Structure 1
Amino acid sequence: MPLQSFPTHLKSILSTAHTRELRGHKQKVLTVGWSADGKKLCSGSADQIARVWTNIERTNNRDALELKAHTGEVDQLCWDPTDPERLATASLDSSVIMWDLRSADRSKTAPYIRKVQTSGENINLCWSPDGRNIAVGSKEDVVAFIDTRGGGDSRSEKKYVWHTIKNEVEINEISWNLAGDLFFMTTGQGTVRIVDFPGFKDVLDLRAHTANLYCLDFDPKGRYFATGSADALVCLWDAEEFICLRTFGTLEWPVRTISISHDGELLASGSEDRVIDISSVETGETVHTITCNAATNSIAWHPRQHLLAYAGDDVRSAMPEGNLRVFGFSESVR
């Protein structure tokens, strides 16, 4: 498909878009994510706190809720895809915490509704499309499956884990497909291990990259998924046939994080380069580049608009910064 097939109005939007900075964390931000309705943005930080931003057009933190319960870095977060008021956070403190923002009080804090202890330090997290399960992966490459409905005392630390997968290889990111019948795990061998769900029988070990595979994301329309690797490449795959459709080779360093926009038109990738590449999914060509101060830890497209949240290892004056940014604002809201 020729480059001119890329929608010209999107090029115009990206070329004139501005970035807003959200300040509030005391240490670097490790993870960002939007609620299913796009009305809330959450960030997790090395300061052991998750913050939920409800008015991203403001640069102060007066509208942010604080989620305080972890005793380690908040390394990952994910929202319930069926309920925009619920989210989960995973930490190096070997716990997963589920939150319901409807329980927040006037002090801008929210108590958790359930805390689940896991067997190791947690580094990856995802929520099933039907909202019934959370999967969490640890540094020991164990993936645990948590029943979100649970039972008994909602505040107890009773384990709700109903299944675990012990992998013999390094696991870096995990995800269900959009149908929820397949579960994907990226590995340190450059493959994507795919098992059926909930049976967990091996379906495919997809040879995707020549180096450690760090991240993956699914097209919200269910057509594709993308993978990012230490080989500095992003690959786009057919979600049904598992065939590589094209590669994106703009970045020069390991790709840490990727995200596909709500309309499936744009693929953003962040790495140890000090830029975020935004490319056309259909053509593979770069259509915009965001300059960053440091390596990027996490990026996430808004579920309904061309707004991209991102955060990285910012350091100024030898001090870490706990800021996150949102790119895509028009001149009228600058």
Structure 2
Amino acid sequence: MSKLQIHKAGTLSGHQNPIFAVENGPEPHMVFTGGNDKGVVQWDLNTMAFARILHPVQFSVYTLHLLPNTSLLAIGTREGKVHVVDIGTAKLLAKLAHHQRPVFDVKSFKTKPEMILSSEDGTVSVWDTDNFNLLYHFKVAQQTVRTIAISNDEQWVVFGTKDGKLKLYNALDYSFVSEIAAHTLPVTSLCFSPDGRYLLTGGRDAQLNVLNGTDFSIVNTFTPHLFTVYAIKYHPTLPIFATASRDKSIKIWSAEDFKLLRIISLEKGFDSHFLSINNIIWNSYKDQLISVSDDKKAMVWDVSL
């Protein structure tokens, strides 16, 4: 693979506190961020500038999720509530008040109108996305369910827990299938590869596991970072994926052989983050990677082969 070209396209400044969540909008030039501030911020990648406060919040935002093929953004908070906001009108359509502890992840399906929330209370709730009624809720772990991944064929839902386990459920009826011991410390990130061959898992133990996407056996394990792996994201079209860590670096890897291709960090000469990188997302507007950090900044990176 030829050397990746990486160029910093801009910095999105304005947050007064650490940023934990980043999500694309219904239009490619839109991106949303949330964290330890009093609002979810909308940015314009065309101008690399602040667009507006989309929605004010009273509690820290831990996760943002755009419902597929809609303009609806789900906002998961430290309070345990999830606000569903219409991006077009900025109206609050629903406030899902079920969990008593923080909501750390939200994921939804393309093939059925259902959305899954995971919480620090060890439970998961499933909501219908037509009327936002609670459909199911069940216990997954004794402690935090930190992260969720839905397989590409939407047959499986995987939950990553604080005790380092993966909990595999059938996505059709949410029946429990199996438990996989994946990490020695909490699972902090999960991601299926675009072709469905692999499930990647990252943890606070600084390990990355590669699991077979069919039988969920572990086929590879390596140490991608010095500290917690907070995010793993495959590029939508290129054969690469990115990881982000508390060690203040982003690393780009080959999706074919898991070789390290590039490191984005201050030490490597990039004008990059100087504190923990909490999340990343690929954006299709100009094939860019967006990273958010404890340093209160979002950064936009041009990545090309």
TM-score by length of 2: 0.89
Answer whether contact 1:308 1:326 (CA < 8 A) is retained: yes
CA separation of 1:282/1:169 partners in 2, compared to 1, >3 Å: closer, same or farther? farther
Answer 1 or 2: which has greater strand percent: 2
1:73 maps to which of 57, 60, 73? 60
Answer 1 or 2: which has greater helix percent: 1
1:127 maps to which of 108, 112, 123? 108
1:212 maps to which of 164, 175, 186? 186
State the match for 2:270 in structure 1: none
State the match for 2:83 in structure 1: 97
Answer whether contact 2:12 2:299 (CA < 8 A) is retained: yes
Name structure 2 gaps, 5 residues minimum.
266-272
For residues 102-128 of structure 1, give each alpha carbon's deviation from its aligned partner in whole angstroms, at most 9, with x where no partner exists.
21xxxxxx2212222122222221122
Structure 2 SS opposite 1:134:
strand
CA separation of 1:39/1:127 partners in 2, compared to 1, >3 Å: closer, same or farther? farther
The root-mean-square deviation of aligned C-alpha atoms, in Å, is: 2.1
CA separation of 1:66/1:304 partners in 2, compared to 1, >3 Å: closer, same or farther? closer
Answer whether contact 1:31 1:44 (CA < 8 A) is retained: yes
Amino acid at match of 2:136: H
Answer whether contact 1:81 1:131 (CA < 8 A) is retained: no
Whether 1:168 and 2:141 are equivalent positions in the alignment is: yes
For residues 235-279 of structure 1, give each alpha carbon's deviation from its aligned partner in whole angstroms, at most 9, with x where no partner exists.
222211323333342311121221111126222111121211111
CA separation of 1:174/1:180 partners in 2, compared to 1, >3 Å: closer, same or farther? same
Answer whether contact 1:47 1:73 (CA < 8 A) is retained: yes
Whether 1:136 and 2:117 are equivalent positions in the alignment is: yes
Shift of 1:75: 1.1
State the match for 1:113 in structure 2: 93
CA separation of 1:253/1:182 partners in 2, compared to 1, >3 Å: closer, same or farther? same
The higher radius of gyration belongs to 1
TM-score by length of 1: 0.81
Answer whether contact 2:140 2:167 (CA < 8 A) is retained: no
Shift of 1:304: 7.2
CA separation of 1:203/1:264 partners in 2, compared to 1, >3 Å: closer, same or farther? farther
1:11-160 superposed matches below 5 A = 11-14=3-6, 17-35=7-25, 38-53=28-43, 55-61=44-50, 64-83=51-70, 85-103=71-89, 110-120=90-100, 121-130=102-111, 132-150=113-131, 160=133
Amino acid at match of 1:147: D
- For residues 172 and 257 of structure 2, what CA distance do their matches in structure 1 show? 36
User: How many residues are treated as equivalent by the alignment?
Assistant: 295
State the match for 1:278 in structure 2: 252
Answer whether contact 1:141 1:169 (CA < 8 A) is retained: yes
Amino acid at match of 1:59: M
- For residues 245 and 72 of structure 2, what CA distance do their matches in structure 1 show? 29
Answer whether contact 1:246 1:284 (CA < 8 A) is retained: no
State the match for 2:269 in structure 1: none
Shift of 1:37: 5.8
Amino acid at match of 2:95: K
- For residues 78 and 246 of structure 2, what CA distance do their matches in structure 1 show? 22
- For residues 286 and 192 of structure 2, what CA distance do their matches in structure 1 show? 17
Answer whether contact 2:77 2:103 (CA < 8 A) is retained: yes
- For residues 91 and 56 of structure 1, what CA distance do their matches in structure 2 show? 25
Whether 1:323 and 2:297 are equivalent positions in the alignment is: yes
Shift of 1:82: 2.2
Structure 2 SS opposite 1:205:
strand
- For residues 50 and 131 of structure 1, what CA distance do their matches in structure 2 show? 27
- For residues 38 and 240 of structure 1, what CA distance do their matches in structure 2 show? 32
- For residues 270 and 325 of structure 1, what CA distance do their matches in structure 2 show? 13
Answer whether contact 2:54 2:87 (CA < 8 A) is retained: no
- For residues 220 and 137 of structure 2, what CA distance do their matches in structure 1 show? 34
Whether 1:230 and 2:217 are equivalent positions in the alignment is: no
1:264-303 superposed matches below 5 A = 265-291=239-265, 292-303=273-284
